[in-house]
Structure 1
């Protein structure tokens, strides 16, 4: 707060001590200092603590008073600096400054009525718009400041850009007015928040917008035309209660009707094969066209736009209406609206079915129209088709998944234009963008036929991405002789041999815009289309293109969506090595190649840090006793001496005679960490194991080995098949089993081999405890 107080004191000092003529030069730095004091300016007086509370209030009051006086200053310099600083002050102070901004509003409105420079009035309009915008979230301030001042603001700004005669109810735009852009933007921002205040001025604003939107020549800059179209659509907010959606729908349908009417005059040089689906449209287009006069409209259209003459003006009017239709689809509305999808697709089908004819024809000319007008129309068709594809792309992006029922129709219309006008770079750019939007919605549901229809687009896309080739080498015949036409040889290459080499090394790309759109389309194709339906040559061309251009996004899409392995097509190929080589320093490439995903377990310690020492102690306490540890014998038993391996036949002859399970009655618990085998078999009672008889013919391979033997017996059984003369099983000591109990004390049960004459099959040795009641008895 102390720093802010010093900054605010410095601003007041400079505003009062410096001459007014020097304030415009330092207005920027003063506005920045005020913006840094936002916390001090926006703090209510009740929350300020400390000894300097009075100084805070004094400095803020001093600043507000000085700016109010500068708004009434006699010099233009003082008023301009005051406008700039007032905007910075209300943005930094928020409600604390806004509640006392009524003197600022009156001073700014006075500036609009004075003969100040255009820059001062422009900044005054911006500042007033900002004040009205900030007060919207405070109903009390809206009632006290915005509602009384906004009607006067609208009237004053309308007088800045237009003139209204007393006898004429309509307004006429002033020529070359510098305030048109800022005024239209102010209306666009405020009309949705205060529709009832703008309702009395709707007709006057509509007259101004008709002159801008309906202009057939380049009378207004494109940004002004764009903001005028947005304001034209936003006028539906001023409709009476609960009728805004219907007003929007009617305006959209009138726009479509106006496009049809204009298209009838523009396309009169050919015989159209299109027929309207909507009966109302057929009725409106049933009027005869006078082919004797120059192409043009005779009066205002459905939107009230003025008449036009000449094919060039007609094409400009058609493009303006198509742009406005796109704006209708992408502009947010306050209420729910109904989009006439069928009428829009019917309109685009009419315009996109007329394509530039090839050498073989394809378009039926109108004999009553001259060839010159028809050729001019063919030259303008790519511009019309580009605007149509923009409308379709906006429709798909607005509806998203709701556009799935019509995506196939849109795809077919796009292919009509691409096949006929692929040589035009604007057409290719528009096609790439529209196909990209379509694939994001319908890509996963495409079948093999739909994917095959995009083959030409994919090949052209790859051709646009790759840089242009250098001079072609002269072709040679079968004998190796050059067949270059002497008349086509560039003589400059003979005079300067380095020219050809430099041209091949420093070649530029073909078209920057199709390059970006094509690169995005390739990534979308690999991500959204079923890769199994893409032909192997097409996929190879796509991978080759993205490798040569080092397109990171496309390479990622290729790696993450590999070509599926299909029987008879060889091994799956990935371009991951090229990705790793091109972007070796990227962290996302490192994560893709060598992921560090930790092992997830069902442990309660997931997400918690574990002490390493505690974890080691816990592992030592709960470490299970291995089988090799249970067989450890004391030194007096001769453990280190080599034990005699018994013959397998001896083990077979000593099979136990009973299958009755007998368990230990009292097991001794040892406290040593390594339990040893008991020295005598009488110390414990064990259950008797049973073996099935084995043939004495050792030449036959052993098909089964008793599982009651030690684990070493299993490992030694493999050597039995290698040596048929002798089958030895390593068996040292008695077999033992390890039983882990809840007290973490290992108890060793040593089974003994008893004789048994039973011929039953050997049961599986159960390592778990058995609690059958019969055995306990």
Structure 2
């Protein structure tokens, strides 16, 4: 706060002491300082202000008073500096400044009616628009400031860009006015929030917009035409209550009819095979064309646009109307509207059915009443028209999203029809890549092999547009042994031998790429690899895609290729992945490292299925068992345990032996319930330190023998320091009719007191009882 207070004092000091003529030079610096004091300016004034708060309020009041006086200054420099400072002040102070901004608004409105420079008036329009925008969230301020001031603002700005004759209800646009773009942008921002205030001026604004959109000479910039189209569409907000949607629909339909009327004259050089599916549209279109006169319209169209003459102006009018139709789809509406999808597709079908003929001959029937010069001129303009149609379809699919699924295949067929005939044009290729990008995301997973094959030409040319030009030239300029001998020595350019740099500079200039085309092509390949089923892509096409992304080192496309590999096909070799090229191109990327070596949790071979195992405790347990001395007396007993891992059974070695007899069957898993109950448990031995649980050990001998085969008991250990303490031998019944397990286990504990095994007596207490793996049922007890 202290720093802000010092900044505010500095601003007030310079505004008060410096001459007014020097203020424009430091206006930007003063505005930046005011913007930094936003927390101080927007702080609410407390009712019981202390000494510090009182100083703050004094400085703020002093600043507002000084700026208000500058708005009424006699010099243009003072008023210009005041307009700049007012905008910075209201943006930094928010509600605290806006609630007392009525004198500032009146001062700014007065500047619009004075003979100030254009820069001052433009800044005043921008500042007033910003004030009206900031007060919108405060209904009280809208009622007190915006509503009383907005009608005067609209009237003053309309006078800046147009003149209203007393005898006519409409306005005439002024030529070469510098305020046109800023005034139209102010209207576009405010008309949706204050439609009732703009309603009395809608007719005057409509006449101005008709003159801008329908201007035949290219007297306005592209930015002015774009904002005029947006404002023309936004006029439906001014319609009476609950009629905005119908007004939008009527304006959209009139735009479509105007495009058809313009196309009647532009496409007169060919005999069209198209016929509208809408009977009402066929009645509205006027097909009476005077072929003897120059191409052009004789009167205003459905939108009230002025007439035009010449094919160039007709194509420009067609492009403007197509862009306006796209703006209709992108603009926000005041109520729910119904989009005429059928009429739009009918329009694009007409315009895209006429394509540039190939060298072998065109498919269009030429109109004999039109000269060949006009027909060839039309063919040169067709790619521009088709590119605009594709942008319209792109907007339609993007706005409808999944609702465009029923018409997606129709749109795809239309653009592929044009692409085959006009793929030589860069604008057409760029537009095709954009619309295919959206369609593949929408219907790619459901594409069949035939539909994917129709995109092969698009994918090939897309790859060539991405590759550097020198790579393409090197592939095209490979020497041919047959043609080399027939080369005419007179056709060789001798300047290339005298000046080698000439050829190098020519190649460099030819290798310049169009950025929009390259971006559209580069963004298409990852989408194709991700959304189109990889089994439908032909191997040559997939190889071309992989080659292209390897040469260009496109990271996104490489990821898409690695994550969507080609499926294995019978009769072909192993599938090849471009993962090594991805790792080589981006060795320091974290996501590449995660893809190559994922840091997954360590998977251990646990002794229990479905249980967590502490690896450190398990290792300490094994070390303790090995370090424990052998006990002469065994006090262990068998306990149930889970099934050990098969790999542990194969890899383990030692004196313990286990033989698992199985037959080949898909259900030979160790997780079977019967096998889990059949496997032996761990043996508990007493040691000096306490009771140690020693896990069962098995030999690495795993044999697969037929079920029910005999088992030969191995010979007893020859060591005199260890004897067999437990023996389990039993032929288990068939598990799942295919598995038979025979297990013999002997502990490694040794007894120093006994040297010979005990006699095999049924009543002997020294021998461990045989483990019964049969189910413990009542029938077994009876037996």
User: Higher mean Cα deviation, 588-597 or 187-196?
Assistant: 588-597
What does residue 381 of structure 1 align with? Answer: 382
What does residue 185 of structure 1 align with? Answer: 185
State the shift of 1:337 in Å. Answer: 1.0
Q: Distance in 1 between matches of 2:345 and 2:684?
A: 91
What does residue 463 of structure 1 align with? Answer: 464
User: Higher mean Cα deviation, 118-127 or 562-571?
Assistant: 562-571
What does residue 688 of structure 1 align with? Answer: none
1:673-701 CA distances to partner (integer Å, 9 max, x unpaired)?
Answer: 44379xxxxxxxxxxxxxxxxxxxxxxxx
What does residue 255 of structure 2 align with? Answer: 255
Matched, 1:308 2:295: no
1:481-508 CA distances to partner (integer Å, 9 max, x unpaired)?
Answer: 6332323312122213465567668972
Q: Distance in 1 between matches of 2:698 and 2:110?
A: 107
State the shift of 1:555 in Å. Answer: 1.2
1:717-756 CA distances to partner (integer Å, 9 max, x unpaired)?
Answer: 87999xx99943558431399xxxxxxxxxx9x9999656
1:264-290 CA distances to partner (integer Å, 9 max, x unpaired)?
Answer: 111111100000000011112254222
What does residue 149 of structure 1 align with? Answer: 149
Contact 1:713 1:729 in 2 (8 A): no
Matched, 1:733 2:733: no
User: Higher mean Cα deviation, 114-123 or 483-492?
Assistant: 483-492
What does residue 545 of structure 2 align with? Answer: 542
What does residue 342 of structure 1 align with? Answer: 342
Contact 2:264 2:287 in 1 (8 A): no
Secondary structure, in 3 states, of the residue corresponding to 1:309?
coil
**Which residues in structure 2 correspond to 1:621-700 (within 5 Å)?**
633-634=630-631, 673-675=689-691
- Closer/same/farther in 2, CA of residues 114 and 668 from structure 1, 3 Å limit: closer
Secondary structure, in 3 states, of the residue corresponding to 1:65?
helix
- Closer/same/farther in 2, CA of residues 113 and 571 from structure 1, 3 Å limit: same
Q: Which runs of 5+ in 2 are unaligned?
A: 605-612, 635-653, 659-682, 729-748, 752-756, 764-768
Q: Distance in 2 between matches of 1:210 and 1:621?
A: 85
What does residue 577 of structure 1 align with? Answer: 580
User: What is the aligned counterpart of 1:486 among 489, 493, 498?
Assistant: 489
Q: Distance in 2 between matches of 1:503 and 1:286?
A: 52
State the shift of 1:632 in Å. Answer: 5.1
Q: Distance in 2 between matches of 1:482 and 1:622?
A: 79
State the shift of 1:46 in Å. Answer: 2.2
What does residue 102 of structure 1 align with? Answer: 102
Q: Distance in 1 between matches of 2:389 and 2:516?
A: 19
What does residue 131 of structure 1 align with? Answer: 131
1:16-38 CA distances to partner (integer Å, 9 max, x unpaired)?
Answer: 01000010111111101111110
State the shift of 1:562 in Å. Answer: 1.4
Q: TM-score, normalising length from structure 1?
A: 0.82
**Which residues in structure 2 correspond to 1:389-404 (within 5 Å)?**
389-404=390-405
User: What is the aligned counterpart of 1:519 among 517, 522, 543?
Assistant: 522
What does residue 655 of structure 1 align with? Answer: none
State the shift of 1:511 in Å. Answer: 3.4
Q: Distance in 2 between matches of 1:249 and 1:133?
A: 28
- Closer/same/farther in 2, CA of residues 672 and 242 from structure 1, 3 Å limit: farther
Q: Distance in 2 between matches of 1:646 and 1:205?
A: 99
What does residue 72 of structure 1 align with? Answer: 72
Contact 1:209 1:232 in 2 (8 A): yes
User: Higher mean Cα deviation, 586-595 or 377-386?
Assistant: 586-595
- Closer/same/farther in 2, CA of residues 626 and 83 from structure 1, 3 Å limit: same
State the shift of 1:125 in Å. Answer: 0.2
State the shift of 1:591 in Å. Answer: 2.3
Q: Distance in 1 between matches of 2:164 and 2:295?
A: 33
Contact 1:12 1:63 in 2 (8 A): yes
**Which residues in structure 2 correspond to 1:185-204 (within 5 Å)?**
185-204=185-204
1:308-354 CA distances to partner (integer Å, 9 max, x unpaired)?
Answer: 11111111111110010011111122321110000000000000000
State the shift of 1:106 in Å. Answer: 0.2
Q: Distance in 2 between matches of 1:16 and 1:252?
A: 56
State the shift of 1:209 in Å. Answer: 0.3
1:38-93 CA distances to partner (integer Å, 9 max, x unpaired)?
Answer: 01111101299763010000000000000000000000000000000000000000
Q: Distance in 2 between matches of 1:509 and 1:367?
A: 42
Matched, 1:59 2:59: yes
Q: Distance in 2 between matches of 1:312 and 1:506?
A: 30
Q: Distance in 1 between matches of 2:116 and 2:657?
A: 119
Contact 2:686 2:692 in 1 (8 A): no
- Closer/same/farther in 2, CA of residues 56 and 510 from structure 1, 3 Å limit: closer
Q: Distance in 1 between matches of 2:487 and 2:656?
A: 93
Q: Distance in 2 between matches of 1:625 and 1:728?
A: 27
Q: Distance in 2 between matches of 1:375 and 1:496?
A: 40
Contact 1:475 1:482 in 2 (8 A): no
User: Higher mean Cα deviation, 578-587 or 400-409?
Assistant: 578-587
Matched, 1:415 2:416: yes
Secondary structure, in 3 states, of the residue corresponding to 1:153?
helix
Q: Distance in 2 between matches of 1:467 and 1:218?
A: 37
- Closer/same/farther in 2, CA of residues 264 and 48 from structure 1, 3 Å limit: farther
Q: Distance in 1 between matches of 2:466 and 2:36?
A: 48
Q: Distance in 1 between matches of 2:427 and 2:684?
A: 92
Q: Distance in 2 between matches of 1:401 and 1:120?
A: 49
1:581-629 CA distances to partner (integer Å, 9 max, x unpaired)?
Answer: 111122222222222344699xxxxxxxxxxxxx99x976998789956
- Closer/same/farther in 2, CA of residues 506 and 725 from structure 1, 3 Å limit: farther
Secondary structure, in 3 states, of the residue corresponding to 2:163?
strand
Contact 1:465 1:518 in 2 (8 A): yes
**Which residues in structure 2 correspond to 1:273-312 (within 5 Å)?**
273-312=273-312
Q: Distance in 2 between matches of 1:6 and 1:18?
A: 18
What does residue 356 of structure 1 align with? Answer: 356
1:197-231 CA distances to partner (integer Å, 9 max, x unpaired)?
Answer: 00000000000000011112211000000000000
Contact 1:470 1:507 in 2 (8 A): no
1:395-451 CA distances to partner (integer Å, 9 max, x unpaired)?
Answer: 011111111111100001001111111111111111111111111111111111110
- Closer/same/farther in 2, CA of residues 567 and 668 from structure 1, 3 Å limit: closer
- Closer/same/farther in 2, CA of residues 141 and 598 from structure 1, 3 Å limit: farther
State the shift of 1:298 in Å. Answer: 1.5
State the shift of 1:147 in Å. Answer: 0.4
Q: Distance in 2 between matches of 1:119 and 1:199?
A: 29
Q: Distance in 2 between matches of 1:202 and 1:506?
A: 52
Secondary structure, in 3 states, of the residue corresponding to 1:675?
strand
Q: Distance in 1 between matches of 2:566 and 2:705?
A: 49
Contact 1:716 1:728 in 2 (8 A): no
Q: Distance in 1 between matches of 2:348 and 2:484?
A: 54
Q: Distance in 1 between matches of 2:532 and 2:158?
A: 53
Q: Distance in 2 between matches of 1:114 and 1:290?
A: 52
Matched, 1:431 2:432: yes
Q: Distance in 2 between matches of 1:645 and 1:553?
A: 57
What does residue 227 of structure 1 align with? Answer: 227
Matched, 1:551 2:580: no
Matched, 1:450 2:451: yes
- Closer/same/farther in 2, CA of residues 626 and 414 from structure 1, 3 Å limit: same
**Which residues in structure 2 correspond to 1:690-769 (within 5 Å)?**
711=696, 714-715=699-700, 727-728=714-715, 730=717, 732-735=723-726, 755=761, 765=772
State the shift of 1:388 in Å. Answer: 0.5
Q: Which runs of 5+ in 1 are unaligned?
A: 602-614, 638-643, 649-666, 678-708, 738-747
